[in-house]
Structure 1
Amino acid sequence: MNKHLWKSQLTPYEADYALWCAEQGAILREGRLSDIDRENLAEEIESLGRSQEDEIESRLNVLVMHLLKWRYQAERRTPSWQATIIEQRMRIAKRLKASPSLKNYPASVLDEEYVTARLRAAGETGLSEAIFPESCPFAIGQILDAAFFPEER
């Protein structure tokens, strides 16, 4: 990257995102703060934090759905369900380790994620939605506990 880019030569955010990112990184490294695209850069940094939350929500949803399937369709349990449960727990734990400020985030979104996980579990199992409790039958500690696998109901 040319260390002597003039502001007028910088790529607009909307024109080429990858090039814009590379240019903004170079500008930061060079300490040319007056040339920074402040608004778009601030938006991008904030979206990085939101993406961490989105990942936790998605993984929690998949995890809860598989725990429901594990409990309510015990006769169809597969090693792949177990592997999915283990993987989602590990990936959530990894994300929480990297961002300790999100430690309580899974608990704060559990009720919301349960609604979708319940619908997905019903759809994937072919069981009536009424089979699954209206509120999550698992505590967040159980959900994230590597040793927890719910027994059949």
Structure 2
Amino acid sequence: MADEKKTEETPAKGGGKKKLIMIIAIALIALGGGGFGGYMMFAPKKATAEPAPTPGVVAVLDAITINLADGHYLKLKMTLQATTEAAEAPDGSKALDIAIEQFSNQSEDELLTTAGRDKAKKELVAKVVKAYTVEKKKEVMDIYFTTFVIQ
């Protein structure tokens, strides 16, 4: 009978260790999952791209003549593509002033090439959009050259 008691007690001790190991394993898995969930919940969010502005009215500006370097002239007529955030068609005064400032005294050679004209237009668009942005609302999204003549 003493042998029967020993055999009965031995499996009980081994079962207790297995239960303890399983409880520890479950606790580690739960903590790991909780840690991952907490990280996902409190991790810094990636910046989302700003939605593209919706085109609104187009404001046609009067043609202007700008003095270039070496006695040449640029006749420039452009339009402003407003966004729907603009309360009304934008006044073109700021855009014309920026264009005069940018193109004055530039060389004819710079503006006659497609690459030079494209570069100048990208710079102008960036300056005009910035000038017409009020309280993070973009009122102008693009400009279009309707006349670009160099003499």
TM-score normalised by length of structure 2: 0.27
The structure with the larger Rg is 2
Q: Please state which structure has a larger fraction of its residues in helix.
A: 1
Q: Please state which structure has a larger fraction of its residues in strand.
A: 2
